[in-house]
A = this chain, B = another copy of it.
Amino acid sequence: MDRSRALELLRQVSSGALTPDEAVQRLAMAPFESLEFATVDHHRALRQGYPEVIYAEGKTPAQVVAIAERTLAHGGSALATRTDAATRQAMLARFPEAVANDVARTVRVGAVAPKAKGRGTILIVTAGTSDLPVAEEAAESALAMGNIVGRLNDVGVAGLHRLLANGGALQSASVVIVVAGMDGALPSVVGGLVACPVIAVPTSVGYGASLGGLAALFTMLNSCAAGVTVVNIDNGFGAAAAATRIVARDSAQP
């Protein structure tokens, strides 16, 4: 409810085009609209490719299906993360067109046309095969948000030649999400190789003093490559959301 819209509304009241009662109905929304700069933008952000995201952990299959039904009624697409097998089965039974990913533990429903013209590719890189579940959660989330996604797997720093042999893919990415557990060293190396934004995702992969991913997390926070940012342990969805915030800017510009 910016000044010009408010003035317009008041003029309609002044001219009799709107009764005070009709006007107050509109103003009733004003407290929200006065915050709308936030919520409108928030909604715009969501509409730029985020389906409603359902965090399935701790919810029954029936609950997830019910929320997805409601979400689809409004938005046309839905994404559930951290699902178990039963939930994925229930979702597929209800929405035969859904895409379930057992590694990522996600289900997507509703066709998401790639809106990513001009956005370039979000490249998701893993250090080892055991980082795949987190990487796949990032990939599925990024796809659900309308992005183009590339993958580069199992290129950890103990075998540098595998990474270096894929220089082309790294160079042509718009954003690189690097998923790594154990020593979490890969984002530092990638951050030194590319100029684009690098988002590091520590995983809880490892044993002994991996501390459930804290070791990798601290490695990444202390990255000697300037400008690497970090999200929470195993948070593939969060990395995808951060990457989308970045690439969405391009397509949003006139």
Contact = CB atoms under 8 A, between A and B. Distances in A.
B219 A219 contact: yes
A164 B248 contact: no
A55 B206 CA distance: 11
A92 interface: no
Contacts of A182: 222-224
Interface stretch (A68-76, A94-102, A109-117, A189-197): A189-197
A198 B47 CA distance: 18
A107 interface: no
Nearest to A199: B229
Main secondary structure of the interface of A (DSSP, over half): helix
Contacts of A127: 224
A139 B81 CA distance: 30
A13 to B, nearest CB: 5
Interface string A197-231: 11100101011111101111111111111111111
A206 to B, nearest CB: 5
